Amino acid sequence: MDPLILLFALGVIARLARSDLRFPEPVYEALSIYLLLAIGLKGGVALSQEPLMAVAWPALATIALSFALPFVLFPVLRHLVRLVRADAASVAAHYGSVSVVTFAIAAAYLDRRSIPTESFMPVLLALMEAPGIIAGVILARAGGLGGAPILREVMVNKGIVLLAGGIVIGAVIGDDGYASLKPLFGDLFRGVLALFLLELGLVVGGRVPDLRRAGHRLVVFALAAPLVLGVGGLFCGTWVLGLTPGGATLFAVMVASASYIAAPAAMRMAVPEANPALGISAALAVTFPFNVFVNIPLLTILGSAT
Amino acid sequence: MNSQTHRRCQLTIIAEFVLEARLVALLRKLGAHGYTVHEVRGGSFAVDGERHREGVGETDRTIDMKIICERATAETIAQKVLEEFSQHFSVRVMLAEVEVFRPGKY
């Protein structure tokens, strides 16, 4: 059994049992900064050994796909899940954006099974953060809803700054420069990810009551969306982006994941009419554990069969 | 040091963390001389459903903002904050009389 998953489960159980275990906010913040920067740096170093043109097409296709995703999900959320416009736009934005931790778990899962992936996958991860959120805002604005302009906030949110900044710095310093950072950002990565998952488990456990209020239709959506999006992502990764089976699997997990850090904060400001509990509960309390326990192993099997 | 005190108003705004930048911009526009902010946790036991804001995740974080100023400024700020944010965000606004030293600071 993967220790990462066990720690996540411990967090969920502790919270449901009303344990007093909690991470101080600055620790949570520091762990997430570390993870984003570590993923960025590692991707940047790998990128320094690749011709830039090899990344151009997958990068463009990733931006287009993640921008299009909320437009596909919106009618489903409106008519099948029966959400009002603001809520549907907000939830669609969560699923158009990406979960960095799900990416990290999938990358670790593939690594343990010695399944190689393209070195530029963290670049695609960074590119997938913002377009889905912007599309969600457009969907809300089209119906006359919406609050503060957030384009600047979305483009410079800490996730993008740390991932993209890490990639650029990693690409500039290359293997030699990274050697001195590796003890912190490479060797300790899985341990820090394990701590972060314990915290995430606590958060998920706390979201369970919200889920009851969200209704069964949204829960069904939060289970079905990653399955359908994952298979679609595998198809696109293989046939449109031209990735290897490992790369296509990781891409599929990214498409299947939903943001619960960048998207909730951005949508809270951009579409204040939306109920913030819906998107974050669906993304974090249903889709995230579903991806970790079911979808990542499933997509890995499907990916190796392509 | 001059130990004479002067009356001012302390305006307390308890609001969602995501509003901080917009509240600060509003304070500047409406003539406040400064503010203090710290993060807090809390909840309500309302009959329509208990709500707790425990600071897990950015949309669950809460700030407690304090502004000391003339009463007229405090009332204008309070009214504007309630107008702009109370419909869709969790916001609480309170006023209290305080005595300050060095009145020019407020």
Interval A109-136: pLDDT, tens: 999 999 999 989 999 998 898 899 999 9
Residue A78 scores a pLDDT above 90: yes
pLDDT surpassing 90 at residue A11: yes
Q: Is A272 an interface residue toward B (CB < 8 Å)?
A: yes
Integer CA distances (angstroms), B57 to A174, A207, B41, B54, B90, in order: 34, 11, 12, 9, 16
Per-residue confidence at A10, pLDDT binned at 50, 70, 90? very high
> Is the pLDDT confidence value at B59 over 90?
no
Q: Does B40 reach chain A within 8 Å, measured CB to CB?
A: no
CA torsion sign for A75, A79, A85, A89 is negative
- Which one has a higher pLDDT value, A270 or A76? A76
User: Do residue A268 and residue B18 have CB atoms under 8 angstroms apart?
Assistant: yes
Q: Could you say which DSSP state residue A141 is in?
A: H
Radius of gyration of chain B (CA): 15
Amino acid at A262: A
Residue B1 confidence (pLDDT): 63
Most confident residue range from A157-166, A211-220, A225-234 = A225-234
pLDDT grade, residue A233 (50/70/90)? very high
- What are the contacts of A80-85 at 24+ separation with CB within 8 A? A80/A217, A80/A221, A81/A217, A81/A218, A81/A220, A81/A221, A82/A217, A83/A218, A83/A278, A85/A139, A85/A140, A85/A143, A85/A145
User: Minimal CA–CA distance to A270: which of A29, A97, A102?
Assistant: A97
CA distances to A73, A263, B11 from A81, in Å: 10, 20, 42
What number of CA atoms fall less than 13 Å from residue A254's CA on the CB side?
28
For B101, list phi and psi in degrees, rounded to 5. Answer: -95, 165
Collapsed DSSP state (helix, strand, coil) of residue A95:
helix
Backbone angles phi, psi at A281, to 5 degrees: -70, -45
What number of H helices and E strands is found in chain A? 17, 0
| Model pLDDT, residue A143 | 76
What is the pLDDT averaged over residues A52-74? Answer: 92
What are the CA-CA distances from residue A138 to residues A55, A218, B12 (Å)?
A: 28, 22, 35
User: What is the Cα gyration radius of chain A?
Assistant: 18
Q: What is the mean pLDDT of chain A?
A: 90
Whether chain A has a CB inside 8 Å of the CB on B101: the answer is no
Q: What is the pLDDT of residue A224?
A: 97
Q: Which residues of B touch A147 (CB under 8 A)?
A: 88
Q: Report the distance separating Cα A130 and Cα A135, nearest Å.
A: 9
Chain B, residues 60-99, CB within 8 A of chain A, namely 61, 87-89
Read off the pLDDT band of A231 (50, 70, 90): very high
Contact A107, A229 (CB under 8 A): no
pLDDT, mean of residues A82-89: 94
* Beta-bridge partner residues of B42: B53
A115-129, B24-38, B43-57: which has the minimum mean pLDDT? B43-57
| Predicted local confidence at residue A212, as pLDDT | 79
Task: Please report which confidence band the pLDDT of residue B56 belongs to, taking 50, 70 and 90 as the band edges.
Answer: low
B43 pLDDT band, cuts 50/70/90, is confident
Q: What is the pTM of this model?
A: 0.87
**Integer angstrom CA distances of residue B61 from A109, B17, B38, B54, B71:** 32, 5, 11, 7, 29
Determine whether the interchain pair A269/B89 forms a contact, defined as Cβ–Cβ distance below 8 Å: no
ipTM over 0.90: no
Predicted pLDDT of residue B55 = 65
Which of the two residues, A82 and A214, has the higher pLDDT score? A82
Pick from A165, A126, A139: nearest CA to A262: A126
Contacts of B71-74 spanning 24+ positions with Cβ under 8 A: B71/B8, B71/B9, B71/B95, B73/B9, B73/B30, B73/B31, B73/B32, B74/B9, B74/B10, B74/B11
Q: What is the mean pLDDT of residues A16-42?
A: 89
- Out of B49, B58, B61, whose CB is closest to A261? B58
Structure tokens at A5: 């998953």
pLDDT tens-place string over residues A168-205: 999 999 999 999 999 999 999 999 999 999 998 998 88
User: What pLDDT digit, counting tens, does each position of A23-32 carry?
Assistant: 888 888 899 8
Among all chains, which residue has been given the structure tokens 């990735």?
A243
**Which one, of A263, A287, A270, lies nearest residue A211 by Cα?**
A287
pLDDT of A208 > 90? The answer is no
Contacts of A269 in chain B (CB under 8 A): 18
Q: Residue A141's pLDDT is what?
A: 84
Is it the case that residue A148 has pLDDT exceeding 70?
no
For B3, phi then psi, to 5°, come to -95, 10
The predicted pLDDT at position A269 comes to 84
Q: Is A203 on the interface with B (CB under 8 A)?
A: yes
How many interface pairs between A and B have CB atoms less than 8 angstroms apart?
34
Rounded alpha-carbon distances, angstroms, from residue A199 to A8, A207, B27, B69? 8, 13, 35, 40
The arithmetic mean of pLDDT across residues B49-69, rounded, is 81
**Residue B84 to residue B72: CA distance in whole angstroms:** 18
- The count of residues in chain A is 306
Tell me what the mean pLDDT of segment B55-84 comes to: 90
Does the pLDDT of residue B79 top 70, yes or no? Answer: yes
Task: Report the gap between the CA of B39 and the closest CA in chain A (Å).
Answer: 10
